[in-house]
Structure 1
Amino acid sequence: MLRLSQGLTGLKLGLGLPAFNTVRCYSIMSSLSPAPGSTKNKKRVGRGPGSGLGKTAGRGQKGQKARGSVKPWFEGGQTPLYKLFPKFGFNTQIKHPQYINLDRIQALIDQNRLDASKPITMRELYRTGQFGTMKHGVKILAGKYPHTFTAKINITATKASQTAIARIEELGGSFQAQYYSPFGLRVLTRPEATLRKFGRIPIRAKPVERKHIEYYRTPENRGYLVDAPNPPTIKPAYVKKAKQSPLLLKLQELEQRNDTGSGAAAGFKESSTPKSASV
């Protein structure tokens, strides 16, 4: 052991390191132990009555706690939370309109339930009895058999697919997408009930949501806001402006006046701009 330490000492001395570090490390290797209080002996149970933890090992006699443990979801016998409230399904926030295909519109025209010579609105579609309710409007679809639609009509609805619009305009008709709120649709389809209840017909509501305004401003969707004189505007996104140093603003004013502070302002900008670290 001494020879090994002396040899390592000479090696360390040759490297320019102190020699006593090697000797000290080897001297404490045999006395290493955990720090006081960092370890704890395992509790041994069931090893006789002298320890106080024999026989039943501190669990007592019989019962759920002696044989096992109480389930973590157990609430002491009271009605558990998962039984306290009834189950309820998922309610989507997406507002789905009523759908009608072009072949069904043609069938209604053939049955004289729709007059193709007059403009067709959602009021006429509602009064055909095709829909039980019309809370979120009507969307016209081409369906599987768009070629069976042969009537020339001028129709308005909430929305329409591009294929349906193309088929209607191919036959010389026209389509316009119009926005109605749920209350506006109730006024449109049942104006008599609105008059009996309020004594007047309220003004038609304008779209306020961004998606509705953008949809009815798009020419491809044949929206009624495309050529409107005062269409609703979309509120721009809030952008927080970065604050500038009052000294920099003052120096910019001096630059505009062609004063002597132009050079100082340029130097201040260069000093305030963080430099990228070089690789």
Structure 2
Amino acid sequence: MVEGLPFLMWRKQLRLLLGSAPSRSLPNFRPSISSSAITQRFTDPSPWQKLRQELGFSLGLAFRAMSSSALLRLNDLQDSPGRKHKKRRKGRGIGSGRGKTAGRGHKGQKARGTMKFGFEGGQTPLRRLLPKRGFKNPFGLTFQPVDLGKIAELINAGKIDSGELISMKTLKDTAAIGKQINDGVKLIGRGAEHIQWPIHLEVSRVTVGAKAAVEAAGGSVRKVYYNKLGLRALLKPEWFEKKGRLLPRAARPPPKQRDKVDSIGRLPAPTKPIPFLPKEQDPLESQ
């Protein structure tokens, strides 16, 4: 049964296509429920057959022509003008279509962003597959070694005055040690037989043999503590003067190094030795 607004639209389209055909009123397709109408249904031609006879061409061709020029077709549906933004995805993990992670984003598009260094797509990275070798102590200290034979050679050459205090700055200025001094200087006993006169030194560490050789000649060795900033102020005081800064105060040693040093380092670089005091008058205890 064809009725209502769809039927009117169909009739209007049909009339537009058949502009040359005579305009006739279409029959009423509302079926009657009377018995005479039912018997007449099988005897008289149907309304569609009458319409086909009046129009003079195939009904299938008419439907095909109407579908090609319909007002609304599914394959012509489009968004309103200006609607070009993609729908924002929510609840889809990191990024959610905003391009914050690497890989593929919404609808297969390549997302913007980078992966963190060492990421290999979720598998075990190579840095974890390779075995570890060795151990580096984060609390270890690195000292620049200097032997007594080198000091004796510089004294004989007149570059070091044996009557003055030999500090780490003196050793650096006379090229007894290198320029790369990390945590201080360590005195070793190589060439101890060349020390025939008393000398006084201030270093960070000293071996047992070197200390015994210096004390046997009438000299002394004091183990002093300097932190990183204090060591720079000792070796390069001109840097602070260039920057217009004052020299820092000497730092106290940490608890784990108190038993390994004799006193706190002095700033600026000292030129005279200080005598050793009894244990109860140790400078570390008094400061």
TM-score (norm 1): 0.47
Higher relative contact order (CA 8 A, sep 6+): 2
